[in-house]
Structure 1
Amino acid sequence: MKSVYSAVFFLLISGILFAFATRQEYSQTIIKEFPIQATGTVDLRNSFGPVEVFTWNQNRVKVHITITVRAASEQKAQYVFDEVDVAFANTPTHFSAQTQINSGKSWWDWDEEKKDFSIQYQVWIPNTVQLNIDNKYGDILIAEMKGKTSINLQYGNIQLQKLSEDLYLDFSHGTGQIGQVKDIEGKLSYCNLQLEQARDLKLETSYSNLQIEHAAEMFINAKYNNFKIQQISAFDYEGRYDVVDIEQVDRFRATAKYSDFRLGNVTDNASFDLEFGVVNIEHISPQFSEVNLVGQFTDYKVNLEPGTPYMLQAAADYAGVSYPASLKVTFEKESSTFHEVEGYHGKAQGVSVIRAQLNYGGLKVTN
């Protein structure tokens, strides 16, 4: 009996493998070209395939769409071709192309053979138009653009060279590489994003990894992320369950729970309001203005450059405060549950100040 089952299983698997092995590629191509003003708008909406955008010095839009089906016969491929359509609309100031799946059934209800297809957009546009792309289950590649750009992508990867204007980005389940961009606003989830340079960023992020080389300002609302930033002027953050690593920052503010921070160098000021966190400020420039630390169940480490003048004002309930021996203490009160200390290093009336208000956790200041 076992040998009979084995034979049946072998025949079943062999049949499946044979069916896949005998599939061939069939394709249909749609080519369209329309005039458009240099400051017009281009909308592209696709699914199940990549969207590639190139630029040229003509005030025209050229679209090259390839529908590719892998099927056992041309008849079965034709079923997919009959169900896939691309709707075009154009005026002198606007062009749109939209993929439409006409089947009454959901794509998920198609059999496996009918699902084996892709729809590829290759589009040539003036680089000054406003570009809007909506894609699902496919990559997006965009050449250098001078107009505003909006991207909505699920389950795909992004590659952008340079955007001279603003970018709106709604991106999930993919990997992105962006060169230079003016400002970015949008939402990120379940993605990895690498950015070389931007001016301002305003993002909601979750379950993502962000690597940024240079930025001016960031406003972040986040949860379950990893941030790694090389240099930024101002970082304003609210979140939970994140890891933030910044090599150099001028101005920093964070309100967070269950998050850890490493700041390589702070040149001006930093402000933290944390619950259940860990903060390591490895270096503070001698010209810094202030550092404000509020924490519950949070540990802070702050290292200043030797010789830096500053004032320290710290109060801790059920938390420890450690300071350098060179600190000139002007007030100190300590019990088994409370520690308050005030003092200065360098000038008695220095303009730089470190303030701390802690409940459970600790503060360690070194220089």
Structure 2
Amino acid sequence: MNAGQVKGKYTKEKKIQKVYLVNADAGLEVGNQYGNIYVTTWDESKTSIDVIIKVSGNNEDQVNKRINGIDVKLNATKGLVACKTDISSSNSRTNIEINYTIKIPKNGSIVLHNQYGNIVLGDIKGHSELKCQYGNIQANKLNNVSAKLEYCNGSTISTMGNGEIKADYSRLTINKCGNLQIKTAYTDYTIDDVNNIVFNSEYGDFKIKQAVNIEGKGEYIGMRFGIIKGGMELSASYGNIDIQSIENNAKNINISCAYTNVDINFNENYAYNFEFDLQYGSLRGTNNLNFTEKNVRTTSANYKGYSKKNGANKVYIESQYGNINLGRS
């Protein structure tokens, strides 16, 4: 059995269409395999479901038997419509594709699980719980999100409110979001604009172009940050940290790292007290600093002082086996 675009000498198609009268905030649950789930909203207290099942192969009897063994289990109440793809076991050499196109009330919530296919969403005001394996999530505007991605190499969310995301072996882009908790492994991701973010990432690369507050831990990962408007607390090992600009109204910066180089640029109006603690590393770019204490040994060094004025924000960077490079943005 193969999934994806159907192909073969013989092709059979089966359609399932249902419309349910539901509450204005009714939920939707879908469990599917081998196809896509498309969900949009409308100004109707109805849930409309269209399912197209396609099977193809070079043996007509096998194709007929296969399509007869695929169905959709439906359960509907005023508050929830649930759909689940039911595929009987088979050893036939056939290709199958099962696509859902669904409309829900504009205030409805969704729980979507899909394997070997995409989840494609319009604007969803209710809570979104998403699980996608071997496909991608493509969403326009989501509110509250809980998402799990595995082997999803091109997922995009244009706008989202608050959310939690777990991603393994994937690639993800978020254009704009509110507060985000994200945990990743072997995953690359880019976030253009985020309010507050807490991350735990290992093996991969990420870029956060603009954020207010950042808190996170990274291992074996490249971290690139653009504009930081608030505070930052980072822990890193076996990677690199590149910070384009600590803005003049930003808050405290705390970085602890090992086997990691730190490149950090400060807005010229950002005033701060600093402490840099290094072991087996160097401090560079100190022209604009006022030192109150220097303690330099063969394999370690500790520097204290301030930039612009004393008693302002605090910048603390602890580095083992890595360099600290300071600059102006």
Match of 1:336 in 2: 298
From the superposition, tell whether residues 31 and 166 of structure 1 become closer, same or farther in structure 2 (CA, over 3 Å). same
Residue 312 to residue 198, structure 1, CA distance change in 2 (3 Å): closer
Q: Of residues 220, 239, 262 in structure 2, which corresponds to 1:259?
A: 239
Q: 1:285 to 1:127 in 2, by over 3 A?
A: farther
The whole-number CA distance in structure 2 between the counterparts of 1:53 and 1:21 is 26
- For structure 2, the 5+ residue unaligned runs are 1-5
Instruction: Work out which structure has the larger RCO, using CA pairs closer than 8 Å and 6 or more positions apart in sequence.
Output: 2
Q: Which residue, 48, 65, 71 being the options, matches 2:34? A: 48
Percent identity, aligned pairs only, is: 21
User: Given that residues 75 and 83 in structure 2 are in contact (C-alpha distance below 8 angstroms), is that contact kept between their aligned partners in structure 1?
Assistant: yes
Quick check: which has more Rg, 1 or 2? 1
> Shift in Å at residue 359 of structure 1?
4.4
| 1:32 pairs with 2:22 | no
Give the superposition deviation at 1:82.
Answer: 2.1
Query: In structure 1, what is the Cα distance between the partners aligned to 2:160 and 2:141?
Result: 6
Counterpart contact for 2:255–2:318, Cα < 8 Å = no
Q: Give the stretch that moved more between structures: 259-268 or 333-342.
A: 333-342
Of 258-267 and 21-30, more deviation after overlay is shown by: 21-30
CA–CA distance in structure 2, aligned partners of residues 21 and 329 of structure 1 = 72
Structure 1 regions of 5+ residues with no counterpart? Answer: 1-19, 289-309
1:351 matches 2:312: yes
How far residue 342 of structure 1 moved from its aligned partner, in angstroms, is: 4.0
TM-score by length of 1: 0.79
Residue pair 1:151, 1:170 contacting (<8 A) in 2 also:
yes
Contact 1:233–1:249 (CA under 8 A) maintained in structure 2: yes
Alpha-carbon distance between aligned partners in 1 of 2:193 and 2:288, rounded to the nearest angstrom:
36
**1:139 alignment counterpart:** 118
TM-score by length of 2: 0.88
| Amino acid in the other structure paired with 2:67 | F
Residues 1:84 and 1:257: Cα distance change in structure 2 (over 3 Å): same
User: Aligned partners of 1:311 and 1:136: how far apart in 2?
Assistant: 51
Matches within 5 A, 1:148-187: 148-163=127-142, 165-174=143-152, 175-187=154-166
What is the alpha-carbon distance in structure 2 between the residues aligned to residue 21 and residue 121 of structure 1?
19
After superposition, where does 1:183-262 map in structure 2 within 5 Å?
183-250=162-229, 251-262=231-242
Per-residue deviation at 1:345?
A: 5.0
Superposed CA RMSD in Å reads 2.4
More helix by share: 1
Report if aligned partners of 2:258, 2:322 keep a CA contact under 8 Å in 1: no
Shift of 1:144: 1.1
Where in structure 2 are the equivalents of 1:118-137 lying within 5 Å?
118-137=97-116
Pair 1:278-2:261 in alignment: yes
1:209 and 1:225 in contact (8 A); partners too = yes
Change (3 A) 1:278 1:59: same
The one-letter code of the counterpart of 1:283 is: F
What's the offset of the Cα at 1:67? 0.8
Deviates more, 1:70-79 or 1:129-138: 70-79
Contact 1:26–1:71, Cα closer than 8 Å, also in 2? no
Deviations 1:211-259 (A, max 9, x none): 1111101111111121112111111111211111111113211112112
Change (3 A) 1:71 1:336: closer
Distance (Å, rounded) in 1 between the aligned partners of 2:7 and 2:180: 48
Per the alignment, do residues 222 and 28 of structure 1 end up closer, same or farther by CA in structure 2, a change over 3 Å counting? same
